């Protein structure tokens, strides 16, 4: 049984709003949350706290999915008000984002931590005054030295990368469902292992 304080009730995918950023590497968090919304059968997305939010029920309890509309580097300006609006502590939050330092196709779950150089996480930590929230990182791989990192994260995945991206997004959704069902520890044990 999961202790009440460990139950995740708000799942926030980080990304950039607008059609020009759709399906870019930096929007992996949005992609996971969109797939999760389809899996959970959420209601309509609606504007709330500078985000698009949708509600669903899992195990008889409400789960809120959100996509901040503040742009990545100001994600905290949406996440902190969302927590207040829904009356949650940071321990009830799971943030889903991309990760340059994870290979394409890999995901990693952590109970808490620093920003790891990710500006979206940095903004969330600053706004909450705490890194005491769970995060699920989706690997997008790091480019070679000849490619600018900022350009890289704002590019769309290539056709060749497609199968790896799809696999990691599906794994991420499965991992979130395990987190909701049995908790972070179980999800870390199952999904943080290196895949063949």
Using CA atoms, how far residue 28 sits from 34, 59, 86, 91, 183, in Å, is 10, 26, 24, 22, 22
Determine the angle formed by the axes of helices 162-182 and 28-40, rounding to 10 degrees: 60
CB 31 within 8 A of CB 63: no
Q: What is the DSSP string of 133-183?
A: SEEEEEE--PPPTTS-HHHHHTSBPPTTTHHHHHHHHHHHHHHHHHHHHH-
List 9, 26, 118, 122, catalytic entry: 26
Please name which of 21, 15, 150 lies closest in space to residue 70, comparing C-alpha atoms: 15
26 classed as catalytic: yes
107-110 β-sheet, strand order: 46-48, 51-58, 61-68, 10-13, 93-99, 134-139, 107-110
Active site positions, annotated: 26
């Amino acid at each position: 049984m999961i202790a009440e304080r460990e139950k995740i009730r708000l799942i926030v995918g980080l990304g950039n709003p607008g059609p020009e950023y759709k399906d870019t590497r930096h929007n992996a968090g949005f992609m996971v949350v969109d797939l999760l919304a389809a899996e959970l059968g959420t209601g309509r997305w609606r504007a709330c706290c500078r985000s698009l939010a949708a509600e669903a029920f899992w195990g008889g309890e409400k789960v809120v999915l959100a996509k901040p509309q503040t742009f990545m580097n100001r994600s905290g300006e949406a996440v902190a008000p969302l927590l207040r609006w829904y009356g949650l502590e940071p321990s009830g939050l799971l943030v889903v984002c991309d990760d340059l330092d994870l290979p394409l196709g890999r995901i990693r779950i952590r109970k808490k931590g620093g920003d790891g150089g990710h500006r979206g996480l940095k903004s969330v930590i600053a706004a909450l005054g705490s890194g005491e929230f769970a995060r699920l990182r989706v690997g997008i791989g790091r480019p070679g030295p000849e490619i600018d990192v900022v350009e890289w994260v704002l590019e769309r995945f290539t056709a060749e990368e497609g199968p790896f991206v799809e696999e990691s997004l599906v794994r991420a959704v499965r991992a979130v469902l395990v987190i909701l069902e049995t908790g972070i520890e179980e999800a870390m044990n199952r999904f943080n292992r290196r895949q063949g």
